[in-house]
């Protein structure tokens, strides 16, 4: 919040025009020569379908214009050297020594991509990479998938793997990135974020079926209805490796075992009420109810978008938020405030998005009301002594690509 106590101006969410140049310049300063090429991969925001990906369910994210750039050049000595505009020293690691949790901190995400590529038999050799990003870190907008996606795109081109050329290759790269995140960065996430960063199309939401990784590109353009999707970054730090995310996954796995299913995807909505009493605790019943109803909400959201029924879409957002707040128990006071204040300011619907426990909420709202909603959320946060939130309007942008 500024000195006058007003909200930050709502950013139009466009990407920095010189982000790639910054990555290239950082590369030159660090490694004393110019990079061979420049790649970029977007963050994402999920419209609906939360904590359904690891239950083989449906999700509906969009790729954001905000992205992470990788300026890179190959090496032949097996060394991986990584530097980031977020500060800190150059991280140097032998590709052969990349292992769970090693290297430390942010570098494990891109290093994990090298590990995952080599594990399935590709030879990366080594490379130097400088990263720059205009994605807020820890805001639930998949800064980790963006750095993985940029690294994967660079590796694919530098090593001649050709995996960016079509959706089949991109699907493979998304899986590589998910393995990097799960096995080296040790965050037990599903595959939604990586798929959005590598497989989404501009102007479309990515209707991903996590049971078979098939995709349906759903047109997503709010301009004709004079609406915007407002991202409200609560600035509450969001980390997926801290146990709560894994605890939700464990609850789902336990429910699946108790019900004798392969996944919660196999439980039909029509059978939900008669099935829930078979579970051993109220907690497992609530978790299961969230997943099964959320998968149905994704189906309904796709239909609402096809019919340009934004009132219906807003209702689904609200139902999704309540389900995450009460059944999945992954919201927090800041996300609830953001949701409630956005609704009070006239949003058609609002919900927390992403993994939960902080990060961002989204609101579907008339373009002309977005700034007033930002003011209302900011005032409510200030009244509670919370850090001022940030605001970005989201557009459906394109996937990871070579940009220079
Ligand atoms: C995080 C994870 C995703 C997904 C969401 C919740 O973003 O990385 O795989 O599980 O949370 O929908």
Report pLDDT for 88. Answer: 85
From the CB of 354, is ligand 1 less than 6 Å away? yes
Predicted local confidence at residue 6, as pLDDT? 78
**Residue pair 18/399 in contact by the 8 Å Cβ criterion:** no
Both structure tokens of 278: 């078979």
User: For residue 132, which phi and psi values (nearest 5 degrees)?
Assistant: -135, 150
State the DSSP string of 57-122: -EE-EEEEEEEEEEEEEEESSSEEEEEETT--PPEEEEGGG-BTTBS-GGGHHHHHHHHHHHHTT-
Cross-strand pairs, 93: 80
Name the strands in the sheet holding 91-94, side by side, starting at the edge strand that comes first in the sequence.
Answer: 91-94, 79-84, 126-133, 61-75, 37-46, 401-402
Sequence ranges of the domains in the chain: 19-219, 223-394
Which of 48, 53, 196, 291 to probe ligand 1 with, by most ligand atoms within 8 A of CB? 53
The Cα angle at residue 139 between residues 137 and 141, in degrees rounded to 5: 90
What is the separation of C-alpha 351 from the centre of its chain, rounded to a whole number of angstroms?
Answer: 15
Residues 79, 124: Cα–Cα separation, whole Å: 10
Please state which of the four CATH numbers 3.30.230.10, 3.40.50.970, 3.40.140.10, 3.40.30.10 is assigned to the domain occupying 19-219. Answer: 3.30.230.10
Token pair in block for residue 212: 């078979």
DSSP 402: E
| Nearest Cα to Cα of residue 237 among 84, 384, 386 | 386
Pocket of ligand 1 contains residue 190 by CB under 6 Å: yes
227 near 309, Cβ under 8 Å? no
Give CA–CA dist 222/305, Å, rounded.
Answer: 10
Span from the CA of 31 to the centroid of ligand 1 (angstroms): 35
Burial of 361: CB neighbours in 10 Å, binned 0-12, 13-18, 19+: buried
d(CA 170, CA 85): 26
Our answer to whether residue 193 is catalytic in this structure is yes
57 lines ligand 1 (CB under 6 A): no
Ligand 1 centre distance from Cα of residue 62 (Å): 13
Instruction: Render the burial of 59-70: b for 16+ CB within 10 Å, e for the rest.
Output: bbbbbbbbbbbb
- In angstroms, rounded to a whole number, what is the distance separating the alpha carbons of residues 51 and 358? 15
Query: Could you tell me the pTM of the whole model?
Result: 0.96
Six-digit token pair at 42? Answer: 């977007």
DSSP string for residues in 344-360: HTT-SEEEE-SS-SSSE
| Best probe residue, ligand 1, of 186, 189, 245 (max atoms within 8 Å of C-beta) | 189
Instruction: Give the distance between the most distant pair of CA atoms in the chain.
Output: 66
H and E: helices and strands count for the chain: 11, 13
Radius of gyration of the chain measured on its C-alpha atoms: 21
- State the burial class of residue 352 (Cβ atoms within 10 Å of its Cβ: 0-12, 13-18, 19+): buried
CA distance 272 to 176: 34
Rounded Cα distance between 183 and 99, Å, is 8
Any idea which fold 223-394 has?
Answer: Alpha-Beta Plaits (3.30.70)
Question: Ligand 1 centre from 385 Cα, in Å?
Answer: 29
Output the CA 59–ligand 1 centroid distance in Å: 10
- 10-residue mean pLDDT profile of the chain (404 residues): values are 66 86 97 97 98 98 98 96 94 97 96 97 95 92 97 97 97 98 96 98 98 98 97 86 87 98 98 98 98 98 98 98 98 97 98 96 98 97 97 97 96
Ligand 1, pocket-test mutation among 51, 135, 142, 328, most atoms within 8 A of CB: 51
């Amino acid at each position: 919040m500024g000195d006058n106590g007003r909200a930050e101006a709502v950013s139009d969410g466009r990407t920095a025009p010189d982000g790639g140049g910054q990555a290239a310049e950082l590369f030159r300063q660090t490694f004393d020569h110019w990079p061979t090429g420049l790649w970029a991969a977007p963050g994402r925001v999920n419209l609906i379908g939360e904590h359904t990906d690891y239950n083989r369910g449906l999700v509906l994210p969009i790729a954001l214009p905000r992205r992470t750039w990788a300026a890179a050049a190959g090496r032949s000595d097996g060394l991986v050297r990584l530097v980031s505009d977020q500060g800190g020293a150059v991280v140097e690691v032998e590709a052969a020594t990349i292992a769970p949790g090693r290297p430390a901190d942010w570098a494990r995400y891109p290093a994990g991509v090298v590990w995952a590529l080599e594990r399935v038999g590709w030879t990366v050799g080594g490379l130097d990479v400088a990263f720059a990003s205009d994605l807020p870190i820890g805001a639930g907008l998949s800064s980790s998938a963006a750095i993985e996606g940029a690294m994967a795109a660079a590796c694919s081109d530098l090593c001649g793997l050709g995996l960016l050329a079509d959706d089949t290759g991109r699907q493979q790269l998304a899986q590589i990135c998910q393995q990097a995140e799960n096995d080296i960065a040790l965050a037990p996430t599903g595959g939604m974020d990586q798929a959005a960063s590598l497989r989404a199309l501009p102007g479309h939401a990515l209707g991903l079926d996590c049971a078979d990784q098939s995709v349906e590109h759903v047109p997503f353009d709010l301009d004709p209805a004079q609406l915007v999707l407002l991202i409200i970054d609560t600035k509450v730090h969001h980390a997926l490796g801290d146990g709560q995310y894994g605890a939700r996954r464990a609850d789902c796995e336990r429910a699946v075992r108790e019900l004798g299913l392969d996944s919660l995807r196999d439980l039909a909505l029509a059978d939900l009420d008669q099935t829930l009493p078979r579970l051993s605790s109220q907690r497992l019943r609530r978790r299961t109810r969230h997943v099964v109803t959320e998968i149905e909400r994704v189906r309904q959201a796709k239909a609402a978008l096809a019919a340009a029924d934004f009132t219906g879409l807003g209702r689904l957002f609200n139902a999704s938020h309540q389900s995450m707040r009460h059944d999945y128990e992954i919201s927090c006071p800041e996300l609830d405030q953001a949701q409630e204040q956005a609704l009070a300011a006239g949003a058609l619907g609002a919900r927390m998005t992403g993994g939960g426990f902080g990060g961002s909420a989204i609101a579907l709202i008339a373009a002309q009301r977005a700034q007033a909603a930002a003011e209302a959320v900011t005032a409510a946060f200030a009244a509670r002594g919370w850090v001022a939130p940030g605001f970005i309007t989201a557009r459906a942008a394109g996937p990871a690509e070579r940009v220079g």
